[in-house]
Chain A
Amino acid sequence: MDVRYINPFIRAIKNVFSTMLKVEVDVQKPHVKTDGTACADVSGVIGFTGDATGCVVLSFPSVVACKAASTFAGMNITLESPDLVDAIGELANMVAGNAKKDFEGADISISLPSVVIGSDHTIGQSRQVPRLVIPCASPLGQFYVEVAMKVEKPVVVAEGASV
């Protein structure tokens, strides 16, 4: 995966969390995902199709997922609440949508969100597109954003602040 493609996602994470949750996210150095890294309890997954294929995954420990969902929704949300799935899915949707606008000249569609809940799970990855893991520190706790993206045509990636 071209490392230039990671910057739109870093901007999107910061923008979504600061705008919707009023939380500043400190993005740490991204690294290539290897087996056994970035295990989580709650993950929101969005797929990309069209001129780019791949996915973005927001992965949280359960406590952080509940805090993020509660802050986002403005109400108390527990691990058992159906609102957890809704809120985490919508956060993933916003990060994906916000990032894809920076791939200028590419027609990219995003899937509806899927949310996986299960203690210490891993979202498997394709061997063809390595997945990058972006560690994110925030007042809510640590979480991870995984990005795999293969762009099928030449694109201009919008400039802006990066990690």
Chain B
Amino acid sequence: MKIMLVDDSRTIRNIQKNVLGQLGYNEILEAGDGVEALGILKQDRPDLMLVDWNMPNMDGLSLIKAVRETDKDLPIIMCTTEAEKTRVLEALKAGVNNYVVKPFTAETMAEKIEQTLAKIGAKA
């Protein structure tokens, strides 16, 4: 199970890596923005993506729209400070499978990851 973390904050990626490690997911790809993520995706397709919204160069929503043009099935969880209903709906419309609002507890993050993977029948 390979998971890609897309967030301009290394601190957040490290926190997410710790949660994923506790769940038994240790194969991690990392990108600091949407452009970097698209570059990695050309070479390597993960089994799940966690994507921040506000990032330099290319934001998370633009990244998700770009991914969905060619890949409808890749599970994507948006993990962001954007908490308004309008933003959540916008992200769902763009094709995210789940949504985590920052600040988050490790338990919430773990629950959303497991929930998303369960829907597609994946295991660590």
Contacts and interface: CB of A to CB of B under 8 A. Distances in A.
Majority DSSP secondary structure for residues of B touching A = loop
Given A110-B54, A112-B54, A97 B83 contact: yes
Majority DSSP secondary structure for residues of A touching B = helix
Given A15-B103, A112-B54, A97 B81 contact: yes
Interface in B11-50: 11-12, 14-15, 18
A67 to B, nearest CB: 14
Contact of A90 (B12, B18, B84): B12
30 contacts: A19-B103, A19-B104, A20-B104, A73-B11, A73-B15, A74-B18, A83-B10, A86-B9, A86-B11, A87-B11, A89-B9, A90-B12, A93-B102, A94-B103, A96-B81, A97-B80, A97-B81, A97-B82, A97-B83, A98-B81, A98-B102, A98-B103, A100-B84, A101-B83, A107-B86, A110-B54, A110-B81, A112-B54, A112-B55, A112-B56
A146 to B, nearest CB: 19
B102 A97 contact: yes
Interface of B: 8-12, 14-15, 18, 54-56, 80-84, 86, 102-105
A46 B9 CA distance: 15
Contacts of A89: 9
Given A97-B83, A110-B54, A19 B105 contact: yes
> Is the interface on chain A under 10, 10 to 19, 20 to 34, or 35 or more residues?
20 to 34
A101 B84 contact: yes
A144 interface: no
Contacts of B84: 100-101
Nearest to B85: A101
A140 interface: no
